[in-house]
Amino acid sequence: MQYLFKHNCCLLFFLTLLVNPISVFPQSIHFNRLTTEDGLSNNNVLDIIQDRSGFLWLATDDGLNRFDGYDFKVFRNDLANQNSLSDNSVWDLMEDKNGNIWIGTKNGWLNCYNPISNEFRKWKLESDILKENAITFIYEDSKDLIWVGTYRSGLYRLNPTNNKIDHWSNDLNDNTSLSNNYVSSILEDKSGNFWISSKYCFAVGLARLASKL
């Protein structure tokens, strides 16, 4: 009888939540705004990630920002330091399996920040179409290869071990090529196939062929 009483009470409480959740647990949501007045390098924030240590990384139009909950540390290009960030207009961020932070910039530079050495490695993604070649998406696959989507120059794949870069783009005369040169997202499925979303549609199977090369 005692079990049935507790069970019925719990059921009644659950139903009460469903019927009127606001009256049981009134919520007051408060937002704290972080701007340049708080140390952020630029108010135009294009991407945010949180790393395994809890730091927030923010991509802005004027540098890479790391926020520890109290203060901002800003990374910018330093012409006197070849191990600094390649350029200051940052579009996309990604943390890899080893805790490195990958940074894609508007000018087509792919950066990798090592938090231990405090240095940046850099690769230039060359384009025959655009000078800037803005990076829109970065993805690490199961083989530790880095896939990079760009604004209008297609898809790139970097092997960080040997620095080899492969490139695919749309070919109007080839219906098996990438559907569009604006790549917005990349995902590897359990079978090792890659799904690439573009501006207009989805391209499937490109990376399945590429992974065998």
pLDDT in tens, 193-212: 999 988 765 544 444 444 54
Give the integer Cα–Cα distance in Å for 131 and 147: 20
What is the pTM assigned to this prediction? 0.80
Would 197 be classed as within a structural domain? yes
Look at residue 4 and give its three-state secondary structure: helix
Least confident of 68-72, 138-142, 158-162, 199-203: 199-203
Residues 134 and 64 in one domain: no
Q: Percent of the chain scored above 70 by pLDDT?
A: 81
Q: Which domain holds residue 187?
A: 129-153+170-213
Residues 120 and 174 in one domain: no
Q: In the predicted model, what is the mean pLDDT of the chain?
A: 85
Residue 88's nearest CA partner among 120, 114, 54, 118 is: 120
Residues 146 and 90 in one domain: no
- Convert the pLDDT of each residue in 49-98 to its tens digit: 999 999 999 999 999 999 999 999 999 999 999 999 999 999 999 999 99
